[in-house]
Structure 1
Amino acid sequence: MIIYSSDKDGFCSDILQGSIEDKIHTLMQQRGLHRVGASEVRSWENSLKYMHLVMEGSRIPGSAGISIEYHIPNSGKRIDFIISGKDKDEKESVVIIELKQWQEAKKTDKPSIVTTRFLHGEREVPHPSYQAWSYSRLLEDFNETVQENEISILPCAFLHNYPNDGVINDTFYREDIEKAPLFLKNDILKLREFVEKWVRFGDDSNLLYRIDNGKIRPSKSLANHMVSLLKGNKEFTLIDEQKVVYESILSLVGKSKAKSKDVIIVEGGPGTGKTVLAVNLLVEILNRGKLCQYVTKNAAPRAVYEAKLAGHMKKSQISNLFIGSGSFTEASENTFDALLVDEAHRLNEKSGLFNNLGENQIKELITAAKVSVFFIDEDQRVTLKDIGRKDEIKRWAKFHGASVHEMELTSQFRCNGADGYLAWLDHTLGVRETANQNMDGVDYDFQVFDSPRDLFKTIIERNKVSNRARIVAGYCWDWKSKKDSAEYDIEIPEHRFKMKWNLASYASLWILDPNSVTEAGCIHTSQGLELDYIGVIVGPDLLVRNGLVVTVPEGRSKMDQSIKGYKSLSKKNPEQASKLVDGIIRNTYRALMTRGMKGCYIFCTDPETNAYFKECLGASVPQKYTSNRGMLKVADAAKKYRPKKKVSR
């Protein structure tokens, strides 16, 4: 997405008129990027004046293209400054510049990572050259126009306030600086020469608009690149805090000792790269001669990865890499150098088929490893048995005398990189209040269908492209077809619609088999995995009544184990029971509606709920839907609106 666009002459004119930062701010708001702080506006005012010094009086042609704050497709990242044109051979080229106002930094012992001071203190961040290079890789990976037209992408970093202190340009960062040249306070002329080399002629072919409107390459599927990853190939470029977390964990694993355990908690929402990071760490730790395993409670991701690796590795080797969270009840102390626990919010207290083995999965995982890494998103806890919370992990870390390290992932690489969509979804589902009350300016394909038949047809069409579209539903219908294949499960008579849950024969591989597109998945077969498009049937367990989004546990199938024990808990502590189950139902639909990287299509069995989602897509959420939100009030409303008769399943 282009925010500010002009040519060199137009940019210089905007600078001289003193209007550049206001113009960019207005354009950001028009494109739905409302959260622009005063510090960011000041950074434009300061940094762009230095870019004016680079451009003014140079041999860079006046018709060279200029773009500021370019939004990279399929990510939540923006490139500070782009100059487009042609080189001496008239080959199209783009120079991308990462601008920093830094005045100092400190060297670390982690590749590509430095420490610098921000408003709220010092923190570790990627070296500016690495950051510029990683953004260029995103642009190359996601844009077919760049690939097909062989457009040269030249990254660099410009720290216009930073003196040459021998730290930021230390030989330790040589590899980063070779990939993306670094220009400091006294390097304005050197940066000018660099740009002049690659932009000798102007942009007479609307290069930036062609890139922006070009076909977007599909995001890489982790499962499809699993074999290449395990062979040591760098399939995924780690961006910003992903790189910091990656290098920090490797550093801790390298220094680990049996007598001093480390427990690492990595928080991140849907699509922030938790699983990609975990698998990349698995490969690198193993390559360093350390004993490591990828652990997850969810069977579906493990089954998918194992299926992709079949024929490339022995089954025993695969089983030693990807393992269930209940496998450590009898593990000896410090058996592993590291355990990478993905989807840690789904961990259970007990293990085994009948939940009768072991004491506590978190305790057992920490016991078994010198370094245990828990990748967590508490808003994806979807059953009453899920115990994966930060405070629970910290409790067992303290029990073991382990050091706790907390880290966070925020960069969004699912839902087309649309942070706004996730914020809107949380607000709309009542998970949390956000400022995103509409989908204006959000580049994500979200649609509400009036008929499940139309939803089904659309998903079938989407699936023809690359077998990456599926329908899922809330677990509000009994799984009758499990025992009788002639039976249908999800039946909506008023729409003459019926569908089966995914066949038992597909099990956890439902998401891979092309024939399974005619069956519906649920949270248990889709969580931890991603598709291009997801279709979600919202059942009677989530309703909108009189402006309130309410949850109705009785709308769930009796076969669903997610809220098993709810009734007995209600007798002991009704308020706690309502709060827990309310969160589980909301989190379930939040997880389902974030499986699609490109789009999410929904149909609600309740007409009023369907109308609510439609209206929430508009310019503003209707006032009738914005009042009386809150956990306790919603829980009370849920009691009021529970159906008196059993929901037809």
Structure 2
Amino acid sequence: MSDETSGLSVLAGAFPAPRPAPGPQEKRQAARGLVECVAAGPVGEIAARVGDAGFIGRCVAGFAQAGFGAPGDAEVRSWRNSWPALTKALVRAGLSDLRMYLEYGTPGGGRRLDALLLGAGPGGKLVLVVVELKQWQTCRVLDGGERVLRSDGVVTAHPVYQVAAYRSFFQHWRPQDAPELDLRAVVLLHNATAEQGLALRRDVPAVADIPVLTSQDLTAPAAQLAGLLRCADLTAPSASQVAAFEDIRWTPSTRLLEQVGSILQGSSSFALVGDQQDAFLRIRDAAARHLTASPQPAGTAPTGAVITVRGGPGSGKTALAVRLLGHLMRAHPDSGIRFVTPSGTLRAHLLDAAGGCSAARELFPSADALRGTARQARTLVIDEAQRIRRRGPGLPPDLAAVVEHVRLAVIFLDERQIIRPDEGTSVEEIAAAARAMGRVHHHLELTGSFRCRGSAAYTAWVESLLYGEPVPWTGHAGYGLATVADPFLLQEEIERATAAGHTARTAAGFCWPWTKTRRRGATTLPLDIAIDAPGGPDRPARTWKAAWNAAGALIDPADGTPIAPHSQLWATHTGGHQQIGCVYTAQGLEYRHAGVIIGSDLTWSNGRWTAHPDQSHDNALRHLAPDDYLPLALNTYRVLLTRGTHTTHIHSTDADTHAFLTRLTNPHPGN
């Protein structure tokens, strides 16, 4: 029996394929929930094919088509190793008729579940069993019990808490009109011994109903094995039950909206003033009009609006975007609101600000799944939209999908924060696309400055320095701007501010290699950055060395205490001041005191800025011609120079450039 004619969906039938413009019936179907996975079907039929190379190949293709990107070699190996163990156990337990989804993606792409089982429970109630698969044999539970140190030295979430978070998605995102669900979960360590599984299972009383199964458990008698897998009372779901589950359009519950919305609304980090507040009121009124309008008949043009908001560094775009999210979650709980940013760093901080609520991850889906999110969400807030990747001329396809499908899209951007050659979109492009699709377009400008101590003078100085005629700094409202003779002195400033209880960070241009290492038991980072500091009358010549922000959180293996935060949390979490950030970990964030190292990729000579892409270690940029690299380099340093709320101290590794900046920042050295 072929895959296409059986109950098994591998690529064909599991995902929406490219096709002509939809008709009325297709549009009604598109309004329903979408199931994104790499394979779906009865357990027995998947078990019969799971070892075939062709099956794995189709799953690789389906992974990309589902909007998950390209699976890495390690991920595909895990499929080959874990899927047979799971399906063999399910078949032996007499569960061949249950429905299975492999690599099930929650709407918006926030999470992928290793496996999801669907069955009918007592009384015909739908039952979901979330399965977390691990190939581990040994690991050590760290402080608090929610993290583990794997044998390869990687610190990751405890699989019991991980699968509990997946289960909570179905609890918090089930709409009121959806079928009732009995939710269960299980962790399967099919290579581990019973003793190893027991060590992992200790100290997790909060989720005592989630078993951790090992290779020994898989040898249990069939009836006992079915119970261990939390499936002993399940039977095959009917076709109507499968359809009822797959047709669910997942939306956040009122309780979740209130919880996260209250946190975001109440955070002083997102308070609004000046033209932020004016823009908020205008968008609020537009939302009330467009989100309460009656749906258009099938086959007619979509209603709604696209609102673009443009503002420079410190103008309050992110604060406004997050406050808007909190308001819309509470005022329009059925709007299917999502918040998307291409900045993984900003997304990590927003999740942190949301109080660590696991189900909140679906409110902040990955930008990699933006087109899928656009099909699901009626309301979408996008921050840092200029960083969305483009694949040729015209509006990036991901943004085009947003303009086409989303009833209310609020898009925040700053064209002068484009930092890669494959990024970039403009207000004009978005407006043209909205008009072409019959959408209403509104545009708002944020002109205030709420960073840099509200110093419009400082932001204007940065703009003139990089894009116009550089002018001397004359000071404003106590904002501290200065050059620093060498990076040793720069780091002393950062250490002093940190000791005083302030956030202080140094960020640099990407002019040194970055070793992405996760060495087992590592307690130090490689000192990739090396800058020679010339000697003087009272000091010898020396070389300053420092580490970039860490690829992953660095944990003391002895006691599990943090040494360095993950790069995405470098700007705010403990220990980040001891590593050097880059534009990717600083963009969208701020700290009280900013140190900036301008590398040899941008120098001032003969009255103008000159770009040197060969000095960059960013593989996305170093191949560019100097004229193409220059605007991206200027934008990069504009970002770094506008992170500090109270001070910015600058050091350039090029002597002439440093002298030029010193003359500008200290125009009257004799005074």
Q: Return the TM-score normalized by structure 1.
A: 0.54
Matched, 1:540 2:600: yes
SS in 2 for 1:423: helix
Which residue matches 1:498?
Answer: 545
- Out of 621, 634, 642, which is 1:563 matched to? 621
Residue deviations 1:472-500, cap 9 Å, x none? 10000111363776632110134410111
Residues 481 and 488 of structure 1 are in contact (CA less than 8 Å); yes or no, is this contact kept in structure 2? no
Which residue matches 1:347?
Answer: 388
Residues 331 and 364 of structure 1 are in contact (CA less than 8 Å); yes or no, is this contact kept in structure 2? no
Aligned partners of 1:470 and 1:375: how far apart in 2? 26
Aligned partners of 1:283 and 1:529: how far apart in 2? 19
Which residue matches 2:182?
Answer: none
What residue identity is the alignment partner of 1:584?
A: L
Residue deviations 1:145-170, cap 9 Å, x none? xxxxxxxxxxxxxxxxxxxxxxxxxx
Residues 273 and 409 of structure 1 are in contact (CA less than 8 Å); yes or no, is this contact kept in structure 2? yes
- Out of 489, 492, 508, which is 2:568 matched to? 508
Which residue matches 2:662?
Answer: 614
Residue deviations 1:583-638, cap 9 Å, x none? 110010010010111111111101111111111124489xxxxxxxxxxxxxxxxx
Aligned partners of 1:442 and 1:614: how far apart in 2? 20
Pairwise CA distance, 1:395: 3.4
Which residue matches 1:284?
Answer: 327
Residues 344 and 568 of structure 2 are in contact (CA less than 8 Å); yes or no, is this contact kept in structure 1? yes
Residues 438 and 617 of structure 1 are in contact (CA less than 8 Å); yes or no, is this contact kept in structure 2? yes
**Cα distance change on mapping 1:285 and 1:583 into 2, 3 Å:** same
**Cα distance change on mapping 1:533 and 1:300 into 2, 3 Å:** same
Matched, 1:517 2:562: no
Residue deviations 1:439-487, cap 9 Å, x none? 3445311110101001011101112233511111000011136377663
Pairwise CA distance, 1:321: 1.8
**Cα distance change on mapping 1:540 and 1:229 into 2, 3 Å:** farther
Give matches, 1:336-485, under 5 Å. 336-349=377-390, 360-429=397-466, 431-433=467-469, 437-441=472-476, 443-480=478-515, 482=517
**Cα distance change on mapping 1:244 and 1:413 into 2, 3 Å:** same
Aligned partners of 2:516 and 2:382: how far apart in 1? 33
Identity over aligned residues, as a percent?
A: 28
What residue identity is the alignment partner of 1:421?
A: Y
What residue identity is the alignment partner of 1:262?
A: A
Aligned partners of 2:549 and 2:374: how far apart in 1? 38
SS in 1 for 2:407: strand
Pairwise CA distance, 1:547: 2.7
Aligned partners of 2:628 and 2:411: how far apart in 1? 22
Which residue matches 1:307?
Answer: 352
Aligned partners of 1:285 and 1:294: how far apart in 2? 11
Runs of 4+ in 1 over 6 A off after TM superposition: none
Aligned partners of 1:231 and 1:478: how far apart in 2? 37
Aligned partners of 2:548 and 2:416: how far apart in 1? 25
Give matches, 1:143-162, under 5 Å. none
SS in 1 for 2:325: helix
Which residue matches 1:270?
Answer: 313
Pairwise CA distance, 1:237: 4.7
Give matches, 1:168-317, under 5 Å. 229-230=262-263, 232-233=265-266, 235=268, 237-256=271-290, 257=293, 259-288=302-331, 289=333, 290-311=335-356, 313=357, 315-316=358-359
Q: Return the TM-score normalized by structure 2.
A: 0.52
Q: How many residues align?
A: 372
Pairwise CA distance, 1:229: 4.9
What residue identity is the alignment partner of 1:527?
A: Q
User: Superposition RMSD on alpha carbons, in Å?
Assistant: 2.6
Residues 263 and 371 of structure 1 are in contact (CA less than 8 Å); yes or no, is this contact kept in structure 2? yes
User: In terms of mean alpha carbon deviation, does 578-587 or 456-465 score higher?
Assistant: 578-587
Pairwise CA distance, 1:336: 2.5
Aligned partners of 1:620 and 1:611: how far apart in 2? 14
- Out of 340, 361, 384, which is 1:319 matched to? 361
Residues 420 and 439 of structure 1 are in contact (CA less than 8 Å); yes or no, is this contact kept in structure 2? no
Residues 613 and 622 of structure 2 are in contact (CA less than 8 Å); yes or no, is this contact kept in structure 1? no
User: In terms of mean alpha carbon deviation, does 364-373 or 606-615 score higher?
Assistant: 364-373
- Structure 2 unpaired stretches of 5+: 1-258, 296-301, 534-541, 553-565
Residue deviations 1:356-389, cap 9 Å, x none? xx97121122234111111111111111111222
Aligned partners of 1:332 and 1:593: how far apart in 2? 34
Aligned partners of 2:460 and 2:436: how far apart in 1? 36
- Structure 1 unpaired stretches of 5+: 1-225, 571-577, 622-649
SS in 2 for 1:480: coil
Residues 532 and 544 of structure 2 are in contact (CA less than 8 Å); yes or no, is this contact kept in structure 1? yes
Residues 479 and 501 of structure 1 are in contact (CA less than 8 Å); yes or no, is this contact kept in structure 2? yes
Aligned partners of 1:366 and 1:440: how far apart in 2? 43
Which residue matches 2:632?
Answer: 584
Pairwise CA distance, 1:227: 6.8
Residue deviations 1:45-70, cap 9 Å, x none? xxxxxxxxxxxxxxxxxxxxxxxxxx
Aligned partners of 2:388 and 2:627: how far apart in 1? 20
Residue deviations 1:179-204, cap 9 Å, x none? xxxxxxxxxxxxxxxxxxxxxxxxxx
Residue deviations 1:299-320, cap 9 Å, x none? 0011122234344x2x12x112
Aligned partners of 1:270 and 1:580: how far apart in 2? 23
